[in-house]
A and B are shown apart, each in its own frame.
Chain A
């Protein structure tokens, strides 16, 4: 049973426009959410995170929105650049007891930004 779902396997966006990547989760115990970017044959690179006590976190061109009632989060990239083309993973964790717990990943969305 997938606890973190990224229902769009791929997304294509024109350079300069907004990219919106979506993620849904089922476990209400998750209290910390992260987005990672991954290029082929490399490890995931941390992008941005959000705690469940917030509904928005912004870092430069990247903004993550969290809707706890809908168990939904999204990553907005504005403006999109060709270098943003990669696979984006949504991940969730339970921060109980100081443990990293484990990161539960979605299956990823491949973003292609066309010049």
Chain B
């Protein structure tokens, strides 16, 4: 079956702009989580959506937001982009029940200039 699909793969934006990233989870998976990976901080949890509701949230400013649609697809939005937002943004999908594995997409590489 198809894996986790993230679009676009690469993005270049200028400071102050906003960006929307998309994630299509594995069929049947209801949980979608977003992570930011930077060289200095590693993989950091942004938020998790389950059945269209945000279920968990990491320690990121309000400029980072997301949503999930009824088909479990999710979008992540970053407003007022800063240079420090340049990172690999990863989406992971899972069944959403306890002790289940999360499967990652290939990520979106965002560069803010």
Contact = CB atoms under 8 A, between A and B. Distances in A.
Contact of A49 (B31, B35, B101): B101
A99 to B, nearest CB: 6
A44 B101 contact: no
B105 A43 contact: yes
Interface residues of B, number: 31
B42 A41 contact: no
B45 interface: yes
A6 B48 CA distance: 24
Interface residues of A, number: 29
A100 B57 CA distance: 11
A105 B104 contact: no
Interface of B: 4, 6, 31, 33, 35, 42-45, 48, 50, 55-56, 58, 88, 90, 92, 94, 96-107, 109
